[in-house]
Amino acid sequence: MQTTFTVNGKNVTLEAAPNTLLVQALREQMQLTGTHVGCDTAQCGACTVLMNGNAIKSCNVLLAQAQGAQITTIEGLANADGSMHPMQEAFKNCHGLQCGFCTPGMVMSAVNLCAQKPEASTQDIRHMLEGNLCRCTGYQNIVVAVQQGAAAMKA
Amino acid sequence: MYTFTYERPTSLQQALALIDAGGQALGGGQTLLASMKQRLHNPEQLVDLSQVPELQGIRQQGNAWVVGAFCRHQDVASHAGLKAALPGLAHLAEGIGDRQVRAMGTLGGSVANNDPAACYPSAVLALGATVHTNQRSIAADDFFQGLYTTALDAGELITAIEFPVAQRAAYAKFKQPASRFALVGVFVAQTASGVRVAITGAGNGVFRHAGLEAALSQSFTPEAVEQVVIDDQDLNGDLHASAQYRAHLIKVQTQRAVQQALA
């Protein structure tokens, strides 16, 4: 079946079987491999992308459910000149990662939480990142990065 | 996942025809797709309800709020009118799963699935809500029938749930931290006809507790439930919590819910 949607600002039509997951289409058909598959059971959040402005887990959504939707992946965040999005910059500056596997999902979730709640407190950030697991950092620097990124996004 | 066909009807009539012919209703898919990936479910056809206008929307109707079956958890959590009238229900929706799940998951999907540790069934039961389907209206007390079982017939679809406004209501969940389902969740509602207490996560399915209801109907205070005996005989015990611990949590979470309702 055909699905037409927008990915990182480009209109795309994909032909895929109905049981194709959104993350499979992004990674395997569009080669957007920045979106990771961690647990494949909708728990870890590594596959988080934005769908119509909401953070969602692309391993637990069918491509067909994205018909007509606006999708943003980690590849869609950087500026046209290749410079980093303020949230990416903040993760780099604050060392908000170690192995980096969860980072694309963390960054997408963080960008979205700042859009939904620009004045998020540390406690809000921890609550709102509940759907993203990191097995390296203990979250300390991630939370600091999100705070810095939030400030930079407002500036 | 096994293969299946996929339909996206744009009216209730179309959706019902597909479901009547054996199609499996798809809400947000947050439980259904995960269980299909594990091959626990093998529907031949999914019927995506996202474009059915009759299942959308939150509206006030007399002294009740009617929430469309396709309303996503985040819509319920953030609806200003509903939040003011039934803060306990909005708070419950705000705590389901995580933010990504709440952006997809729907009220109808959760209630139709009747997971024994899901949050929504406790609100539906404690508030004495009415489940509207394409065929009839079902009282919450008759709707939930234990482990993943409801009064819904084959081909019957939840269209909306009508929640009467309570004098006071609150939900207190003790989370299983990995799954974020309720290890024990207690929804307490003080209504004109007495207090109703519905418990999720602890048993074979959501259930009311007569002892807690009687004590709280006499005195709606956390202290009132102190002497209530919670029998652990029929409660779940697993690697996360023993039946005795769940029984203890029922009392503690009831007290917390009452505190919240009074705040």
Place of tokens 């694309």: A104
All structural domains of chain A: 2-76 (3.10.20.30), 86-154 (1.10.150.120)
Rg (CA), chain B: 18
Return d(Cα B12, Cα B14) in angstroms, integer.
Answer: 5
For A1, the closest chain B residue by CA position comes to: B6
CB-nearest to A55 from B3, B37, B99 is B99
Nearest C-alpha neighbor of B143 from the set B165, B164, B122, B117? B122
Identical fold between B1-51 and B168-262 = no
- How large is the average pLDDT for residues A82-111? 97
Q: Which residues in B lie closer than 8 A to residue A19 (C-beta atoms)?
A: 1-4
Between residues B193 and A112, the one the model is more confident about? A112
* pLDDT 10s digits, B209-238: 999 999 999 999 999 999 999 999 999 999
Q: Which residues in B lie closer than 8 A to residue A17 (C-beta atoms)?
A: 3
For B177, the closest chain A residue by CA position comes to: A130
Q: Which CATH number fits domain B168-262: 3.30.1490.190, 3.40.50.1580, 3.30.390.50, 3.40.640.10?
A: 3.30.390.50
Q: What is the pLDDT along chain B (263 residues), one digit of tens a residue?
A: 899 999 999 999 999 999 999 999 999 999 999 999 999 999 999 999 999 999 999 999 999 999 999 999 999 999 999 999 999 999 999 999 999 999 999 999 999 999 999 999 999 999 999 999 999 999 999 999 999 999 999 999 999 999 999 999 999 999 998 889 999 999 999 998 899 999 999 999 999 999 999 999 999 999 999 999 999 999 999 999 999 999 999 999 999 999 999 99
C-alpha distances (whole Å) from A84 to each of A10, A78, A134, B122, B233 are: 20, 5, 22, 45, 58
* pLDDT 10s digits, A125-146: 999 999 999 999 999 999 999 9
CB-nearest to A42 from B6, B30, B50 is B30
Determine, for residues B180 and A18 on separate chains, whether the beta-carbon distance falls below 8 Å: no
Global confidence as pTM: 0.96
For A49, the closest chain B residue by CA position comes to: B100
Interface test with B, best of A44, A65, A126 (most B CBs within 10 A): A65
Instruction: Give chain A's mean pLDDT.
Output: 96
Return d(Cα B49, Cα B109) in angstroms, integer.
Answer: 10
Q: Which residues in B lie closer than 8 A to residue A21 (C-beta atoms)?
A: 33
CB A44 within 8 A of CB A105: yes
pLDDT at A135: 94
CB-nearest to B3 from A19, A21, A64 is A19
DSSP letter, residue A14? E
- Mapping DSSP onto H, E and C, the string for chain B reads CCCCEEECCCCHHHHHHHHHCCCEEECCCCCHHHHHHCCCCCCCEEEECCCCHHHCCEEEECCEEEEECCCEHHHHHHCHHHHHHCHHHHHHHHCCCCHHHHCCCEHHHHHHHCCCCCCHHHHHHHCCCEEEECCCEEEHHHHECCCCCECCCCCCCEEEEEEECCCEEEEEEEECCCCCCEEEEEEEEEECCEEEEEEECCCCCCEECHHHHHHHHHCCCHHHHCCCCCCCCCCCCCCCCCHHHHHHHHHHHHHHHHHHHHC
Please say whether the structural domain B1-51 has been given the CATH code 3.40.50.2300.
Answer: no
Rg (CA), chain A: 15
Tell whether A75 is within 8 A of chain B (Cβ).
Answer: no
Q: Which residues in A lie closer than 8 A to residue B1 (C-beta atoms)?
A: 19
Query: Where in chain B are the domains?
Result: 1-51, 168-262
Quote ipTM for the complex.
Answer: 0.96
